[in-house]
Every structure is written in structure tokens, then in C-alpha cells.
Amino acid sequence: MVDSEYDAVRYVLTAPGIAVRTAPYIGADEFDFAGLEREAETMSGGEEILVRVAEELWLAERRVGLWELVRRLDHESFTRVLEALRIGRRSHGQSSAEFDLAA
């Protein structure tokens, strides 16, 4: 995986509300998604969505619907997902400025 993709996933998994619980599953260059899925079973709905977003970013397999991001995430988590997308976008030759939602 490209570094910015790793950075994007790590950014999601280190959100303040879940960082303590996800830390044991974050490796130097890989993530233990089997462990993260087990951990997510006892998380709140929004926290569990963050784990699924991270998994989708890493594995490129659909794990979460866009409607969940809009309807179920609080402002802080929604903003964190958007920033993770900006970070991950760098791996595909796009600057984060090209993904500016304020424009």
C-alpha cells in the first residue's frame, strides 16, 4: 500500500473516541481488521462506522454506505472521514487542495 493510504486509515483509527481501543490493531505497515471487527462489536454505532470506513479505505471493499456517513456520524467523526479521504487522495497524484469542499 502507498504511505498516504496507510496514513488515511491510521488517521481514521486514531480518532479520539476509538484510539485507545484500536491501538493494539495498528501495525507499522498493516492493520489487524479481524481484531478491529471483534473490537467494533462493542463500540457505539458511530465508532463502529469509523472502523468500517478504515477497513474500506484499506481493502477497497465496500463496508459502509454513504448514507451512514451523513446520517450516523457526529460532526467530528464526519470531518475526520473527510480529512482521511484527503490524505488518501494524495496517493493518487492529487493534492488535498484539489479536494477542497469550500470551493
Calculate Rg over the CA atoms of the chain. Answer: 13
Q: What are the two backbone dihedrals, phi and then psi, of residue 44, each rounded to the nearest 5 degrees?
A: -65, 165
Q: How many of the other CB atoms lie within 10 Å of CB of 83? A: 15
Q: Give CA–CA dist 33/66, Å, rounded.
A: 21
Q: How many of the other CB atoms lie within 10 Å of CB of 29? A: 7
Q: Give CA–CA dist 70/46, Å, rounded.
A: 11
| pTM, to two decimals | 0.86
Reported for 25-31, long-range contacts at CB under 8 A and 24+ positions apart, including other chains, are: 29/1, 31/55, 31/58
Record the cell numbers describing residue 103, joined without a space.
Answer: 470551493
pLDDT digits (tens, 9 = 90+) for 7-65: 999 999 999 999 999 999 999 999 999 999 999 999 999 999 999 999 999 999 999 99
Strand partners, 31: 26
pLDDT digits (tens, 9 = 90+) for 52-102: 999 999 999 999 999 999 999 999 999 999 999 999 998 666 554 554 544
